[in-house]
Amino acid sequence: MLFLEEVKIIKKITAQMHEHVLKIKNIDGNKLYTNSKLLVDGIVDIYKKYGFSEPGLGYDVYNIEAEAIGQKLIFFKDSSPQTSQKSYLINSEKDFNKLQKIKMGKNGRMNFVVEALKYFKEKTDLIPPLQFCAPFSLAVAIYGYERLVTDMYTNPRLIHKLMNLITEEILTPWIEYQKAIIPDWQVALGADALASPPNLNLDLLEEFVLPYVIKLKNNCGNNIGVVNWWGESHVKDLKRFLDLKLKASPNNKILRVQDPDLEKIDLTKIIKFVIENNMNLTFGIGAKLLSSGSSYQIEERVNKYVSEGVKVKNFNLYLCNISKDTPEQNIFSAVNSAKKLMKL
C-alpha cells in the first residue's frame, strides 16, 4: 500500500466482495468459506466483471481466531459465518488457559486463510493485506458483548488481563505467522467494527481498545492497525474520535469514514482533518443503500462523496459490503459513477 509520502496520487474504487462470490459462483456459505481457491477466484471474477480498481481479498475475518481456539461457528447458506452467541468459550478467569493452546496455522480455518493469501498473490501478482480480528472484537466473540462491557466497569482488571492475553497469545503470533507466509507484506488490517460508538463510548475505547491495537503495532510493526471503527455521528467530540482513529490506523496514515455516519456529518471536517494529518482517505458507501437503493440514489451518494474525497491526494471510495443479493445494476451504477468522477 502506498502512503502520502510517496509522490504517486492514488484514486480507487474498491469493495468488500466476498459475500457476492456466493452469487457469482452459485454456492453456499459452507463451501465458500472453506475453499480458498473458490473464494479468490470469485473475488477476481467480481473485480473484472464490475470494473473495480483492484480485487479486494476478504473473508469472515471476525471468526478465524475465535473458531481456532474453540468458539462454536455457525455457517449460513447465503451469507458469511458467525460465531455462536448462545454460549461462549470464556466464562470466567479460569477459562483463560484456553487462550494459550492454539496451534498457529493449524487450528480451525487458519489454513484456509493461509492458502487464500498464497493463492491470491499467485493469481493476481498483488500483495494481499494481512487481516485479523482486532482484540476487542475477538473478546466479544469469545466472552460476549454485554458481559464484556459490564465487566469493563465492574472488573476492569479482569478485562485488561483478557485483552492482554488475546493480544499476546493469539493475535501477535497469528500476525507473525501470516507475515512469514507473505514476507513482502505491506499492511495488516484488524476488523473491529464492534468497538465503534455507540457500542462503546470514547473513554472505554481509549482505555480498553486502543492500547491493545497499539501493542500489536509495537509487537508486529507500525503498518498494522484498525480502520473500520464507525460511529462519527454518535460522538459529541468528533475531533477526539478522529484522533483515536488516527492512532489506531496503520502507520497513522489511513482514515476511513463510512455510512451510516458519512451521510449525516459535515464532510468538510473530515477533509480538513485528513489534510492536516497527511492521511489517505476512504469514504464508504453502506451495504443497505447498495442492496435496496435505486441507481439514482446510489449515483447521488457517490457524487456527494467523491466530490469531497478527491480534494485529498489519495482517495478511495469503498463499497462496504456487496452481499449475495445486491443487484448487479446497483454495483455497476456505483462503480461507473465513481470512475467517471475520478476520471479513472
132-165 pLDDT tens trace = 999 999 999 999 999 999 999 999 999 999 999 9
Q: What is the CATH number of domain 14-252?
A: 3.20.20.210
Could you report the per-residue pLDDT of 75-126, keeping only the tens digit for each?
999 999 999 999 999 999 999 999 988 899 999 999 999 999 999 999 999 9
Q: Which amino acid, one-letter code, is at 275? A: I
Q: What are phi and psi of 15, to 5 degrees?
A: -160, 160
Query: pLDDT tier at 344 (50, 70, 90 boundaries)?
Result: confident
pLDDT for the residue numbered 44: 98
Q: Is the pLDDT of residue 235 over 50?
A: yes
Q: How far is CA 81 from CA 78, 116, 160, 185, 208, in A?
A: 9, 17, 28, 27, 27
Could you report the per-residue pLDDT of 10-54, keeping only the tens digit for each?
699 999 999 999 999 999 999 999 999 999 999 999 999 999 999
pLDDT for the residue numbered 101: 80
Q: What are phi and psi of 25, to 5 degrees?
A: -100, -5
Query: pLDDT tier at 9 (50, 70, 90 boundaries)?
Result: low
pLDDT for the residue numbered 343: 86
Average pLDDT of the residues in 257-262? 96
pLDDT for the residue numbered 7: 37
Q: What is the pTM of this model?
A: 0.94
Q: How many CB atoms lie within 10 A of CB 237?
A: 9
